[in-house]
Amino acid sequence: MIEIKDLWYTYPGRSEPTLKGINLRVEKGEFVLLTGPTGCGKSTLLKTLNGIIPHESGGIFSGSVKVKGMETTESNQIEISKEVGLVFQNPDDQIFSTTVEDEVAFGPENLCFERKEIDRKVEEALQIVGMSGHRLASTNSLSGGQKQRICIASMLAMTPELLAMDEPVSQMDPRGTHEVLNTVRELNRKLKTTILLVEHRLHELAPFVDRIVIMDDGQIVFDQPASKAFDHLEVFYRLGLRIPEPVELCHSLGIKASPLSVSGALALLDTDDFKKNISVSQSSPNPEESTVVIKNSSRRASTENNNSKNNNSENNNSENDGDSIVLIQDLWSGYEKNKMVLKGIDLEINKGERIAIMGTNGSGKSTLLLHLAAILKPDKGSVKVFGEDTRSKNPYSFAGKVGFVFQNPDLMLFCDSAEEEARFGPVQLKYSNIEERVKNSLEAMSILPFRHDLPQALSRGQRLRTAVASVISINPKLILLDEPTTGQDRMNIEQMMDFFKNNNSTLIFCTHDIEVAMSYATRILVMNDGKIIADGKGKEVIKDTESLRKASLTQPPVVEIANHLGINAFSVKELVKTLTSRSAEGTKC
């Protein structure tokens, strides 16, 4: 289905190639996960499959890309598009119709299906992605995750032979992700649809795919069946990629197997052999040290440096200190008359808290954040930020005090270079030590090497980190981040979130990543249908399975495994510690 030979590509204006001699063959009916550190060239490679590169991009292209035997450089782009359904990384780059129905019908209409057949395909595709209820909605009114669902539906409605998907579920809630991936897997099995899917959340995707291909710096550096890929953990550590928790747990316990599911890990933990021989990785007698840590010492060292630079040790915010920063009382708000999105929110947030907001796509998380920046105003009730009622304020009133990073970073990047983005705020606010702020913020987000680049010429992960750098250079007291870890590799997630852990600001971030929320938030709010249905420390919220279910969330695999074993543990580290100490007690007896 895909045959790529010695592919090299250099973007216009770049001196270095982005793709450096790619060779890849994908057979019909394979389901391949393509992953790798942010900026390594994954999106660029996908764009060569339907001819966007080089037909629309220019640049220097050499080598061969064949899809179904068609050489993409020699073929008409319309012809290739019929064979390759490309789901874009940014849904706003893909969606162009004004209504959901028109967007999904566009493909089948162009393939000249009968009207009745088009209607059937649209309904079926919308059902698969859980959006039938939004068929007549305006595409502008959709949340980020809802837009991603529509992009997937548009491609499914065309039933292409090859689906190339660029982080199609990065903004989707966990249950939605699971349901959509199950369906994609079914299509792959039943219709032999070939799928090449780019994603950083390989710990969630791995169970669905046949094969894992890893890129680094424009080259393919790893290619293995999914069932064997995690036997080579050193590659994942070295490149700072995520690992499924069941695999991490087993390896930390010295079990030489890589189960991708909770049941797989439980089966291994239940063997007599394991019970007798439980041992922490031979090289590390201390269970704390045996759990997985990132091994790339150079990148880790730079994070630690930054953290200490930005760390105000008197003001470490791991525990809140009781000063109220946000006070929301009975907040009702909507975008259309008589259609409330937020339905009676009461919330108090104190200085120094790190709050994760989680919940179903469309439950109102972004809408709530927009209220905290005074971008939206209440229809009923009140929102006070730093004691000031947002009704009498506009977003500029909080400049310097409140920093906001949108779900789509492209909406906030407008300067000629990443460096200018980070400089803009401090210059406008007439701060001193501007250059130090710019350097520290770019360094903290690993953007320093790209500081002179045009933001639009960066990868999505790099653009998102540039947007975060442009906010932290101001050092606002309240930082609002809408899904800051989407599309980031594990190394960058840890670097970003460690920065905020050691920073003295109050942080409120939306996320669908329960592992990130558990590791970094001092408090988790769970939203469903415009209401906060759970609010507490991660360890409390994670046990509230009824609220999690309502909010389309699932427990992290390690918590599920611990529950099955009757152990109170919330991380791989905690579970390994308990299992090994139990074993030590058993040995003493």
Ligand X SMILES: Nc1ncnc2c1ncn2[C@@H]1O[C@H](COP(=O)(O)OP(=O)(O)OP(=O)(O)O)[C@@H](O)[C@H]1O
Q: Which residues bind ligand X (CB under 6 A)?
A: 11, 14, 18, 36, 38-44, 141-146, 171, 335-336, 341, 359, 361-367, 407, 457-462, 487
State the first-to-last Cα distance of the chain, in angstroms, to the nearest integer.
60
Closer of 143 and 571 to ligand X (Cβ): 143
Closer of 287 and 484 to ligand X (Cβ): 484
Task: Spell out a b/e string for 357-392, using b for 16 or more CB atoms within 10 Å of the CB, else e.
Answer: bbbbbbbbbbbbbbbbbbbbbbeebebbbbeeebee
- For the bound state, the minimum distance from the C-beta of residue 39 to ligand X, rounded and expressed in Å, comes to 4
- For the bound state, the minimum distance from the C-beta of residue 512 to ligand X, rounded and expressed in Å, comes to 7
Closer of 240 and 362 to ligand X (Cβ): 362
Q: Which residue has the tokens 């558990």?
A: 518
Closer of 256 and 337 to ligand X (Cβ): 337
Residue 398, classed as helix, strand or coil, is helix
Residue 247, classed as helix, strand or coil, is helix
- For the bound state, the minimum distance from the C-beta of residue 414 to ligand X, rounded and expressed in Å, comes to 16
- For the bound state, the minimum distance from the C-beta of residue 57 to ligand X, rounded and expressed in Å, comes to 7
- Residue 226 structure tokens: 């999914």
From the centroid of its chain, how far is CA 94? 19
CA distance 345 to 383: 10
- For the bound state, the minimum distance from the C-beta of residue 488 to ligand X, rounded and expressed in Å, comes to 7
Contacts of residue 507, defined as CB under 8 A and 6 or more positions apart, other chains included, come to 317, 353, 354, 355, 479, 481, 500
Closer of 361 and 583 to ligand X (Cβ): 361
Closer of 130 and 244 to ligand X (Cβ): 130
- For the bound state, the minimum distance from the C-beta of residue 317 to ligand X, rounded and expressed in Å, comes to 24
From the centroid of its chain, how far is CA 572? 21
Q: In what order do the strands lie in the sheet with 506-510?
A: 402-405, 478-482, 506-510, 354-359, 523-528, 531-536
CA distances (Å), origin 404, targets 193, 231, 357, 536: 40, 41, 15, 23
From the centroid of its chain, how far is CA 464? 11
- For the bound state, the minimum distance from the C-beta of residue 529 to ligand X, rounded and expressed in Å, comes to 9
- For the bound state, the minimum distance from the C-beta of residue 416 to ligand X, rounded and expressed in Å, comes to 14
Closer of 150 and 562 to ligand X (Cβ): 150
CA distance 284 to 172: 38
- For the bound state, the minimum distance from the C-beta of residue 284 to ligand X, rounded and expressed in Å, comes to 32
DSSP string, 149-176: HHHHHHHHTT--SEEEEESTTTTS-HHH
- For the bound state, the minimum distance from the C-beta of residue 537 to ligand X, rounded and expressed in Å, comes to 22
- For the bound state, the minimum distance from the C-beta of residue 329 to ligand X, rounded and expressed in Å, comes to 19
Name the amino acid, one letter, at 361.
Answer: N
Closer of 42 and 437 to ligand X (Cβ): 42
Of 391, 398, 406, 342, the closest CA to residue 373 belongs to 398
CA distance 576 to 569: 9
Closer of 446 and 580 to ligand X (Cβ): 446
Closer of 450 and 570 to ligand X (Cβ): 450
- For the bound state, the minimum distance from the C-beta of residue 339 to ligand X, rounded and expressed in Å, comes to 8
- For the bound state, the minimum distance from the C-beta of residue 588 to ligand X, rounded and expressed in Å, comes to 49
CA distances (Å), origin 475, targets 170, 397, 437, 478, 487: 28, 16, 9, 9, 24
Contact 528, 550 (CB under 8 A): yes
Contact 465, 444 (CB under 8 A): no
CA distance 324 to 433: 30
CA distance 94 to 425: 31
Residue 298, classed as helix, strand or coil, is helix
- For the bound state, the minimum distance from the C-beta of residue 243 to ligand X, rounded and expressed in Å, comes to 17
Closer of 39 and 426 to ligand X (Cβ): 39
Closer of 309 and 343 to ligand X (Cβ): 343
- What is the 3-state secondary structure of 403-444? EEECCCHHHHCCCCCHHHHHHHHHHHCCCCCHHHHHHHHHHH
Closer of 458 and 525 to ligand X (Cβ): 458
Closer of 38 and 441 to ligand X (Cβ): 38
- Residue 569 structure tokens: 């543990």
Residue 586, classed as helix, strand or coil, is helix
Helix axes 115-128, 144-156, angle to 10 degrees: 140
